[in-house]
Amino acid sequence: MKKQSLLFLLLLATVGIGCSGSDPDQPETVAATGKVTYNDKPVEGATVTFVPQEGEHAAVGVTDANGAFSLMTFTANDGAVPGSYQVKIAKFDASKQSPAADSSELSEDQMPSNDIASQAKAPQSLLPIKYANTSTSGLTATVGESPEKNVFELSLTD
């Protein structure tokens, strides 16, 4: 019986090793962390997105109660692919909604197609909306080969 158990464990270990390997076409990532503050206070629950200026693999993290985040590209906390990024940060509250657009300002093709759509409202941004878009955030970052240098302090203001 011991021999069968040993063979079974060996088989499991072999299968586990074969399944745990990374995709050879997947680029290497480097640990990248940081902190987000808004008016010098930590921001909890914000989504931080590093959008590559060249390449195709964005990295994302969510801030904790201290405003700290760890980026992930393919798996939890794996970091980001080294390179230059534009950064966007968003935090929305779905229970607080922005007013829907005034229908008198919409063209005919922009008009909602039914009553449900006309009542839809966007979730309210809890940070200045400019930070939710890479073209307006003004935030950039460069992820290098050394994890020790990949610590980003992202300070937001009004």
CA atoms within 13 A on the CB side of 29: 23
pTM attached to this predicted model: 0.72
Q: How many domains does the chain have?
A: 2
CA distance 73 to 158: 29
Identify whether 33 is part of a domain.
yes
- Backbone torsion region of residue 90, taken as left when φ is above 0, otherwise alpha when ψ lies between -120 and 50, otherwise beta: beta
Q: Decide: helix, strand or coil at residue 138.
A: coil
Both 81 and 134 in a single domain? yes
CATH code for position 135:
2.60.40.10
Identify whether 148 is part of a domain.
yes
Q: Decide: helix, strand or coil at residue 48.
A: strand
pLDDT along the chain (158 residues), means of 10: 42 39 82 98 98 95 98 97 98 73 46 53 92 97 96 97
Both 99 and 67 in a single domain? no
Chain-centroid distance of CA 61 in Å reads 4
Both 137 and 81 in a single domain? yes
Identify whether 5 is part of a domain.
no
